[in-house]
Each structure stands twice: as structure tokens, then as C-alpha cells.
Amino acid sequence: MDTTRRALLLAAPALMLAGPALALPAADQALVDRAVAYLQGLPTARGRFVQTDPRGSVTQGVLYLQRPGRARFEYDAPSSLLVVSDGKVVSVADKRLKTVNRYFLSQTPLKLFLADEIRLDRGVAVSRVTRLTDGFEITAQDRVGKTRGQIVLTFGDSPVQLLGWKITDARNAVTQVRLTSLVRAGDLDPGLFRAPYPQQPTRR
């Protein structure tokens, strides 16, 4: 799978870094708690995204999120990429070629946004909280795996809102996703989260 097709899986092993959790200063922990409360209070959402892959190629599209576990990232033409999480499996499909690769949701960084109960203190190590002019960033790694990499979540302030994320994978390749809008969505059509094309073996 090429870089573009991997992108919204966000490099499946990219969050994994074994190591101890770090104790954060109280002020940093307060920002983490605000971010978690915001994400926990966002059961459904829709919006648009702009993605920049490690080669500098820019694509964009529309996204839908429904916790727990469901997401859809549909790229605008001329891209034919579609990424769908049905709650357990993330399918990365090329609509033009009618090909699909599947991964367990638990293997991907999407699990951070889509968990029923969002936690950044269980299996995830927050290594840094960075204050920005109008928000903050949270850098985290998954402490379960063995592959190096990290995710940086960017939040706006007043009110808190998720603005995007950046993944650095084991090869130090960076994929960045910027959200140009993200709003509560109410009820979403269950068909949005149906896995595309016939079920194939899931990659482990």
C-alpha cells in the first residue's frame, strides 16, 4: 500500500512505543483532562479534513465519526480513497480499483478518538503538552507495542475543539491531518459505516 492509501490509518503501528508513563505537571494534566472531556462529549461529528502526506501531497475530503468505533473518511475526487471503521475493523478501499485492505481498529490511532470511554492514562503515555497561542498540543504514544512513533493532537481553546493530528511513524515519516470544520452531527446513517466491498482477511 502506498503512502496515500496508508494515510488515514495514520500508519497503523505508528502510535506504539513501549515505556513507562510520565507524570505530568498539574497544569499540563488539566489540559489533558479538558481534551478528554471534550472528546468524551462528542459522540457523533461530521466535518472536513485536509491531509498532507510525507511526500507533501495534499488531499481533502469529508469525515464522519460515531463513537464507539465508527468513522468514515471519504476523499474528494480525483482521489478514490475511502476509509471506513465499522466498530471493529478499519477498511482502506480504493473505489476506482475496487481494492480494500483491512486492519483491526485496535491497531490504529483512530482508536484514540473512537473509544467508548476515552482515556489518555490507560495504555497511552502522554509525553508532552505544548501550549500554543490559541490552543495546545498533546503528544502521546501507545505503551503496548514495540514500534516507535507518536501522535500529536492539536486542540483550539475557548472553546476546546479538536483541530487535527500529526503522526510520526517508525521511519520518522510525518502525516498531518487538519480539520477545517468539525461539528456535532446528531443521528448519522448507519450505512456510512458499512465496510466497503466483500469481507477479506484482516491484516494483523
CB 105 within 8 Å of CB 118: no
- The CATH architecture of the domain made up of 3-183 is Clam (2.50)
Domain chopping of the chain, boundaries: 3-183
Q: What is the reported pLDDT for 14?
A: 38
Given a cut of 60, whether residue 6 has pLDDT beyond it is no
The partner residues of 142 in beta bridges, in order of sequence, read 16, 124
Does this model's pTM top 0.95? My answer is no
Torsion of CA 63, 150, 145, 66, to 10 degrees: -20
Given a cut of 60, whether residue 203 has pLDDT beyond it is no
CB 163 within 8 Å of CB 155: yes
The string of pLDDT tens digits covering residues 72-87 is 999 999 998 999 999 9
The string of pLDDT tens digits covering residues 32-63 is 999 999 988 889 999 999 999 889 999 999 99
